[in-house]
Every structure is written in C-alpha cells, then in structure tokens.
Amino acid sequence: MAKDLEMPAADYERIARLIESDDSPVGIDAKKTHVLILHKLGEIERRLARLEEAAQRRP
C-alpha cells in the first residue's frame, strides 16, 4: 500500500467492521460505504472552507 494511504491497524479494523456485510458478494455494504465516504468528504469541505476563510483574513 502506498505510504500516503497507510493507516493505523486499529483504524483500518474499525472501518472494516463498519462497512462489512455478510449479505454482499464482495463482503461490504456498498450503500453504507458510500454514505461514510460522502460524510467524510463533507467534513473535509467544511474544514477546507474554514482554512480558506482564515487564510483570507491574514495580512
């Protein structure tokens, strides 16, 4: 795995448990996975907006 994609094993396992599905042929719940991704993207957007606002206020 690429260095920038590595994460602590505990985080990986926590996320894997959140999205796993015995009912899915690929082993994950696609809807839950997409909801988690979209939620995280929303958090990133809000954080970026705050950082951009703070950068614009600096002299």
Is the full-model pTM beyond 0.85? no
Q: Among 35, 13, 14, 31, which residue's Cα sits nearest to residue 23?
A: 31
- Tell me whether residue 54 is in a domain: yes
Identify whether 58 is part of a domain.
yes
Residue 49 domain-assigned (yes or no): yes
Contacts of 33 (CB under 8 A, 6+ apart): 19
User: In the chain, how many domains are there?
Assistant: 1
Q: Establish if 10 belongs to a structural domain.
A: no
Q: Does 52 reside within a domain?
A: yes
Q: Give the mean model confidence (pLDDT) for residues 13-25.
A: 94
Q: Is residue 3 part of a domain?
A: no
Q: What is the pLDDT of residues 22-56, one digit of tens each?
A: 999 999 999 999 999 999 999 999 999 999 999 99
Angle, helices 30-57 vs 9-19, to 10°: value is 130
**Residue numbers of the domain that contains 50:** 30-59
Q: Which residue has the higher pLDDT, 5 or 24?
A: 24
Q: Which residue in 14, 18, 12, 11 sits closest to 34, CA to CA?
A: 18
Residue 1 above 50 pLDDT?
no
- For the cut 60, the answer to whether the pLDDT of residue 2 exceeds it is no
Which residue type sits at 42? G
Answer whether residue 18 is part of any domain: no
Residue 15 in domain: no
